[in-house]
Structure 1
């Protein structure tokens, strides 16, 4: 229904007209504004995915080597962001990021900065906020891959003279790459389609595809254009995820054959 709606006409006085037209799609292709919004959306999603890999993979590795008691406590802490309402969590980050928030005031008191850093209404603030909530998905995916890894294999590499870094890079990393890939797909898709965090932290000036579709549906009431924005986001996500997975898996197979 949403795809069909994207091909309908719309006017400020006539409303939605159920006549098939490419007007909405031509408008998105011709207007650079939509290109900017989608590039920002996918740039933020890529940065959140990379940050989740940098933070989540070591977390999963350390989690896997913990004792069962500490592992349970740490796992609860990692999954903590998922237990809090997305709105409450994002508003909490807004309080931290504000010019009078804990982050800026703390950095100013210890002398690292002389004026507040612009976290609010910036891509940096959105990336940090989304990374906070999406890292658990990366941790769980990598941890599941580590469960299938025999710890004695890593010990055997050490007994043969490999350094801890070499053993991790040559033995552990190749076997957890599938978990990293599956976690990256989930994180990228959720980051690209996120609404609450970009809407609150990014504000009205820092538009992404989800907030743009929301505005078209509920502010301008141009439902066909909003449907076209949402449909294009879905198609782009599917194309990017399927294409990158095939490319990475092909290269991964060539390297380790």
Structure 2
């Protein structure tokens, strides 16, 4: 090694003493801009959702008397009455039974409908999509009243069936679970179509053509190529549909009436008819908790089965 090379090596080599004495690097500070930008949304979320929920939960812990009114006493009597009374068991069971059937019907009708719309070409795709999503542009009360006119004993459905000779007496749709399920399915199918449609946007049609060209049958293509892409949309749509069906008020109140109560109409009656606000608040809180538990549990179970089947 020449003198010049030795001099260069001394210059290029790090100073061990200086490196040892250097302070440790400071941790990088996270920018505060994302948190500051999210503060208005968090404040709005807290004011419009969390605060009412907390107040409703505190109200459900009060007691009520017909002569004394609402008493500021902390107790669990309202929850105990709901859990131990068969009347409330029947209403909650009916609520979730209707929600499950509506969710299944929406999945059976909405998923194929979204797939067919995805395969359509313009301008038919836009026209059919407008027909499917058109009910969302109309008030749910107006739609339900339309179904009430169709379901009546002298409505169009019964009149047409009797005129054709298929039935001799009108079919009872009003004040039955069947009528509520049909009306809720019509109201909530667009949400399933939108969820599945969003999942299908990531599916390249050429993948299906490639599978067909390699000898796969159409059913195999649907099961192995299309279905794995659609399942996340079906799960998302099922969560939305189930939550909306279980907490629906207008449709069960109009179609079901006072004969067929669900949890939402029961809470409404407790608030405005009997004026037992603590009991109505307890019903609302239990409905919310039951929705959360069922949705999270079913989502975890279906996702686990989905991974086992398709991975």
Partner Cα distance (1:168, 1:240) in 2 = 29
Q: Which residue of 2 aligns with 1:71?
A: 125
Partner Cα distance (1:112, 1:173) in 2 = 38
Q: Kindly indicate whether residue 198 of structure 2 is the aligned counterpart of residue 154 of structure 1.
A: no
Q: Kindly indicate whether residue 76 of structure 2 is the aligned counterpart of residue 51 of structure 1.
A: no
Q: Which residue of 2 aligns with 1:40?
A: 94
Normalising by structure 2, what TM-score? Answer: 0.81
1:125 pairs, out of 164, 179, 190, with 179
Q: Which segment drifts farther, 215-224 or 73-82?
A: 73-82
Partner Cα distance (1:256, 1:250) in 2 = 10
Q: Which residue of 1 aligns with 2:285?
A: 231
Deviation at 1:68, TM superposition (A): 2.6
Q: Kindly indicate whether residue 226 of structure 2 is the aligned counterpart of residue 175 of structure 1.
A: no
Q: Which residue of 1 aligns with 2:254?
A: 200
Unaligned runs of 5+ in 2: 1-54
Once the two structures are superposed, residues 75-115 of structure 1 have per-residue CA deviations (whole angstroms, 9 ceiling, x without a partner) of 11111111111111111100000010001111111122111
Q: What is the Cα-based RMSD across aligned positions, in Å?
A: 0.8
Q: Equivalences for 1:65-144 in 2 at 5 Å? A: 65-144=119-198
Q: Which residue of 1 aligns with 2:49?
A: none
Q: Which runs of 4+ in 1 moved over 6 A?
A: none
Q: Which segment drifts farther, 212-221 or 151-160?
A: 151-160
Deviation at 1:165, TM superposition (A): 2.0
Helix, strand or coil for the counterpart of 1:48? Answer: helix
Q: Which residue of 2 aligns with 1:165?
A: 219
Unaligned runs of 5+ in 1: none
Partner Cα distance (2:261, 2:252) in 1 = 8
Helix, strand or coil for the counterpart of 1:68? Answer: coil
Q: Kindly indicate whether residue 290 of structure 2 is the aligned counterpart of residue 251 of structure 1.
A: no
Larger Rg: 2
Q: Kindly indicate whether residue 264 of structure 2 is the aligned counterpart of residue 210 of structure 1.
A: yes
Partner Cα distance (1:238, 1:11) in 2 = 31
Partner Cα distance (1:114, 1:227) in 2 = 45
Partner Cα distance (2:273, 2:250) in 1 = 16
* Length, aligned pairs only: 257
Partner Cα distance (1:121, 1:171) in 2 = 43
Q: Which residue of 2 aligns with 1:16?
A: 70
Query: Which structure ranks higher in relative contact order (CA pairs < 8 Å, sequence separation ≥ 6)?
Result: 1
Deviation at 1:161, TM superposition (A): 2.0
Partner Cα distance (1:73, 1:26) in 2 = 53
Q: Which residue of 2 aligns with 1:184?
A: 238
Deviation at 1:201, TM superposition (A): 0.2
Helix, strand or coil for the counterpart of 2:70? Answer: strand
Helix, strand or coil for the counterpart of 2:123? Answer: helix
Once the two structures are superposed, residues 35-92 of structure 1 have per-residue CA deviations (whole angstroms, 9 ceiling, x without a partner) of 0000000000000000001110111011101113111111111111111111111111
Normalising by structure 1, what TM-score? Answer: 0.98
